[in-house]
């Protein structure tokens, strides 16, 4: 079997609110680049990548994958990720690997998880990811800790989720700490709580807030300060496990992070860690050094979510509920629309490969929406209500 073509398209799907974070605002939609690899046997593999419009970057790699056997992933990785430093982007390779694994599963008539060792669970628990929102459904903005507690309770009741993470680094740290405390009061002692300022807090602020939240019995404190040094300093002073999806977020930094004692839990991400197979490599390292394993979300659509579910299904030690932005999407580009939450979890697709299929009508519709809206990464996630605002790291 040989890869004979690569097709790439950008799509944008509306959200039910504008989502604020420490470096800006998702302006009412998420956007993704969708990849299709076509083989000489007529099989088509699907991949997905975020980070803005990646069509040009992927097409630069097209000559390096045409003619390749989709089962020869180590060679494809060498040609697209290892061999050319100026294109050594793990995000792009991950989308290609995703599509190749989809082809492999379709050729064998087996789900993708079977290619990674087989599933140990058939559904993946998910969290309620809490964002401070502009223009939320029903009108208004989130401005008070009670707004986050209300959202947490709503998502628990509608999706069945039993854990949440607050995307912090947006409002005053004391307000965000209070939001977590209110969630504990509202949801009871067994509900999982996490907070993630994405490294924007200074070390003193992160220590102060972390020590305050020790009484809340948090599952973990994610990226409390900037970099490996910042996380290591907070970890020494706070009795809450330190998690990360930022430091380390690649294999080059994993050894230093372990030696420095910078992290307790690593959040896997298919794009940061070189595809589903790379996530399995990461999990083996975490198991060796006694680190916990969780799952990061990158505002994915159904193709990547399917790959995440398949991968997570094969990792026995992934005991934390996974991150998901998915409940903010109003639709999906896969046939059947949005995947369903069942008791706070999403089932691993059972069909061959990824187990999902593109809905071409929706691809055309949301491709046109992308053409209308454009790439918000080019506008630096601009804040529509604070036009002169820019992100400040460590300023709190």
305 token code pair: 């979510």
Decide: 222 and 249 in contact? Cβ < 8 Å.
Answer: no
Question: Residue 381: exposed, middle, or buried by beta-carbon count in 10 A (0-12, 13-18, 19+)?
Answer: middle
Q: Distances in Å between the alpha carbon of 157 and those of 187, 200, 235, 342? A: 11, 31, 33, 12
Q: Distances in Å between the alpha carbon of 2 and those of 77, 114, 216, 277, 353? A: 16, 22, 55, 21, 17
Question: Residue 160: exposed, middle, or buried by beta-carbon count in 10 A (0-12, 13-18, 19+)?
Answer: middle
Decide: 233 and 225 in contact? Cβ < 8 Å.
Answer: yes
* Residues marked as catalytic: 167, 296
Closest CA to 165 of 110, 116, 222, 207: 222
Cα 102 to Cα 107: distance, rounded to the nearest angstrom: 9
């Amino acid at each position: 079997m040989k890869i004979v073509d690569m097709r790439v398209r950008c799509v944008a799907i509306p959200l039910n609110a504008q989502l604020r974070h420490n470096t800006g605002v998702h302006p009412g939609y998420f956007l993704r680049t969708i990849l299709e690899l076509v083989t000489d046997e007529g099989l088509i593999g699907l991949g997905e990548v975020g980070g803005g419009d990646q069509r040009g970057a992927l097409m630069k790699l097209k000559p390096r994958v045409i003619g390749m056997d989709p089962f020869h992933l180590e060679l494809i990785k060498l040609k697209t990720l290892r061999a050319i430093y100026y294109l050594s982007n793990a995000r792009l390779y991950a989308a290609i690997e995703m599509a190749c694994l989809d082809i492999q599963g379709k050729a064998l008539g087996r789900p993708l998880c079977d290619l990674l060792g087989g599933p140990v669970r058939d559904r993946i628990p998910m969290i309620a990811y809490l964002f401070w929102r502009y223009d939320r459904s029903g009108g208004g903005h989130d401005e008070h800790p009670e707004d986050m507690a209300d959202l947490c309770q709503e998502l628990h009741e509608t999706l069945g989720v039993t854990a949440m993470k607050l995307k912090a680094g947006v409002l005053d740290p004391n307000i965000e700490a209070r939001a977590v405390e209110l969630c504990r009061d509202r949801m009871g002692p067994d509900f999982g709580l996490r907070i993630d300022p994405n490294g924007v807090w200074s070390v003193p602020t992160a220590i102060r807030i972390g020590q305050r939240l020790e009484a809340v019995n948090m599952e973990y404190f994610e990226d409390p300060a900037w970099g490996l040094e910042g996380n290591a300093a907070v970890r020494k002073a706070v009795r809450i496990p330190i998690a990360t999806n930022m430091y380390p977020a690649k294999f080059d930094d994993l050894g230093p992070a372990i030696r420095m004692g910078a992290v307790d839990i690593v959040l896997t991400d298919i794009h940061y860690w070189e595809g589903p197979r790379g996530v399995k490599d990461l999990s083996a390292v975490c198991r060796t050094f006694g680190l916990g394993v969780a799952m990061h979300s990158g505002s994915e659509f159904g193709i990547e979510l399917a790959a995440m579910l398949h991968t997570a299904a094969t990792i026995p030690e992934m005991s934390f509920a996974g991150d998901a932005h998915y409940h903010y999407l109003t639709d999906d580009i896969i046939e059947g629309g949005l995947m369903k939450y069942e008791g706070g979890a999403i089932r691993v697709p059972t069909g061959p490969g990824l187990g999902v299929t593109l809905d071409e009508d929706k691809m055309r519709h949301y491709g046109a929406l992308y053409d209308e809206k454009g790439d918000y990464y080019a506008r630096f996630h601009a804040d529509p209500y604070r036009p002169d605002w820019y992100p400040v790291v460590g300023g709190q």
